Amino acid sequence: MSNSMWGGRFADAPSAIMEEINASIDFDQKLFRQDIYGSLAHAAMLAAAGIIGQDDAARIREGLEQIRGEIEAGTFTFSRDLEDIHMNVESRLAAIIGAAAGRLHTARSRNDQVATDLKLWVRDAIDALAGEITALQAALAEKALAHAATVMPGFTHLQTAQPVTFGHHLLAYVEMLERDRGRFLDARRRLNESPLGAAALAGTSFPIDRDATAKAMGFDRPTANSLDSVSDRDFALEALAAASLCALHLSRFAEEIVIWSSAQFGFIRLSDRFSTGSSIMPQKRNPDAAELVRAKTGRITGALNALMMVMKGLPLAYQKDMQEDKEQTFMALETLSLCLTAMRGMVGDMEPDAAAMKKAAGAGYATATDLADWLVRTLGMPFREAHGVTGRIVAKAAAAGVDLEALPLAEMQAVEPRITEDVFAVLGVERSVESRTSYGGTAPANVRREAEAWLARLKERG
């Protein structure tokens, strides 16, 4: 028996393996709400334009609403020989309302239908992700405010560089996430044009009103070129690109959490809620959630690459290759949502060990730059010379096995006789961070101001 939706030209049913490779219903059933929403808008427009009767449109609407209820209740039977969500819904509609169901597909094709459905799904996903990013930013800004003056070592090359504050470090991620959110919202602006009514590829001879369907679905306007409308997946690619960069940021943070929570660093303690034990080593508290966030970046950036490879050689207009857009897009955006939520939980629960951080901040001659700056400021020395003098003093301290603060004044004066007792004031880590008041610097006063500004700004977003 040939397919009841497109089988007019066919004598035989598809082979089982054809059905296996062709059917998308196992994954595109996720689009049922968008599919029905689009069909409701289309049917209402067809009736308003006089293309179908009002009574048929009413029957179609009731039928579609019943179907939505059935799918939500889990009583709907999806069938693989109906290939995809579009035909499963339409076939069920025919079973419920009879012949009028056949009028719904007037002036429409699955090509513009699927582009519309996926756009609606991606748009919802972007809106949800933007909210989840904001929530993570708020968790970070709150922690940052609480730890505006908590000193930790700042690193370059993962070598102790200069003391910074924990709050400042956390706010760096708030900035990154803000760019991520901006990329998502920017992608959303370009996405928000309705492909519905492009039909198969060439438009339609029916007097449809594309502005009406666009408006009904919250799009800014209809897409301008029917070929582009059905062959464009930029909106999914852009969302995946934004997701990849966001995941990459989360992965970097996750890596820091893994490092910080190790016994060797001991900078933070993760809550029991976000740690796991070892089945053999009783002492272990593993940062599994952070490790998984780090790892899941692979599948998210993989999805971007996979869809780019699907699209790269496709001529206009719709090609069945494009059916492969959905699983990658769903998986990647859902994974990012999970990662953002897990990160938010970890950040909220994270307890820094201020004493351990401060101790580490003082080790490794982290205030050497402060000493050099003192030589510049107090003795009028050129910075390059001060750098050399400081280097020799650090070498002395290293040879004596002590911190800069513990090196006797006489030892420093042996390198530079004009150094006075006053120098010790700048060698402490707290003084060091307090002095970094330049715009964007790590001084606790800056961090407090920035964290408060962020919290106010994020609250406005609701």
Residue 110 found at the interface with ligand ARG (CB under 6 A): yes
Amino acid letter, 262: S
Q: Tell me which stretch binds ligand ARG (CB under 6 A): 168-176, 240-248, 316-324, 349-357.
A: 316-324
Amino acid letter, 337: S
> The dihedral of CA 402, 407, 411, 412: what is its sign?
positive
Q: Tell me which stretch binds ligand ARG (CB under 6 A): 108-116, 149-157, 186-194, 394-402.
A: 108-116
Residue 84 found at the interface with ligand ARG (CB under 6 A): yes
**Residues 195 and 123: beta-carbon distance below 8 Å:** no
Residue 180 found at the interface with ligand ARG (CB under 6 A): no
By beta-carbon proximity to ligand ARG, the closer residue of 199 and 346 is 199
Nearest-angstrom CA–CA distance, 5 and 27: 20
Q: Which residue of the set 157, 205, 279, 438 is catalytic? A: 157
Q: Tell me which stretch binds ligand ARG (CB under 6 A): 52-60, 179-187, 211-219, 315-323.
A: 315-323
Which two tokens mark 149?
Answer: 């003056």
Q: Which residue of the set 2, 15, 262, 278 is catalytic? A: 278
**Residues 164 and 211: beta-carbon distance below 8 Å:** no
Cα distances (angstroms) measured from residue 249 to each of 138, 196, 240: 16, 36, 14
By beta-carbon proximity to ligand ARG, the closer residue of 177 and 322 is 322
Q: Tell me which stretch binds ligand ARG (CB under 6 A): 172-180, 318-326, 327-335, 411-419.
A: 318-326
Which two tokens mark 423?
Answer: 């120098």
**What's the closest the beta carbon of residue 359 comes to ligand ARG, in angstroms?**
58
- Using the rule CB under 6 A, which residue among 82, 322, 361, 393 binds ligand ARG? 322
**What's the closest the beta carbon of residue 302 comes to ligand ARG, in angstroms?**
20
Site string for ligand ARG, 443-462 (x = CB under 6 A): --------------------
By beta-carbon proximity to ligand ARG, the closer residue of 330 and 365 is 330
DSSP label at 166? H
Note if 39 is an active site residue: no
Cα distances (angstroms) measured from residue 396 to each of 357, 365, 407, 409, 410: 25, 11, 8, 12, 11
* DSSP H/E element including 222: strand 221-222
By beta-carbon proximity to ligand ARG, the closer residue of 41 and 114 is 114
CA-based max dimension of the chain: 101
By beta-carbon proximity to ligand ARG, the closer residue of 237 and 451 is 237
Nearest-angstrom CA–CA distance, 219 and 193: 5
Note if 278 is an active site residue: yes
DSSP label at 128? H
By beta-carbon proximity to ligand ARG, the closer residue of 231 and 390 is 231
Which two tokens mark 148?
Answer: 């505006």
For the chain, how big is the Rg over CA atoms in Å?
31
Helix residue ranges, H only, 147-277 = 166-191, 210-216, 226-231, 234-260
Residue 114 found at the interface with ligand ARG (CB under 6 A): yes
How many chain residues interact with ligand ARG (CB under 6 A)? 10
User: Site residues (CB under 6 A) for ligand ARG?
Assistant: 24, 28, 84, 110-111, 114, 318, 320, 322-323
Residues serving a catalytic function are 157, 278
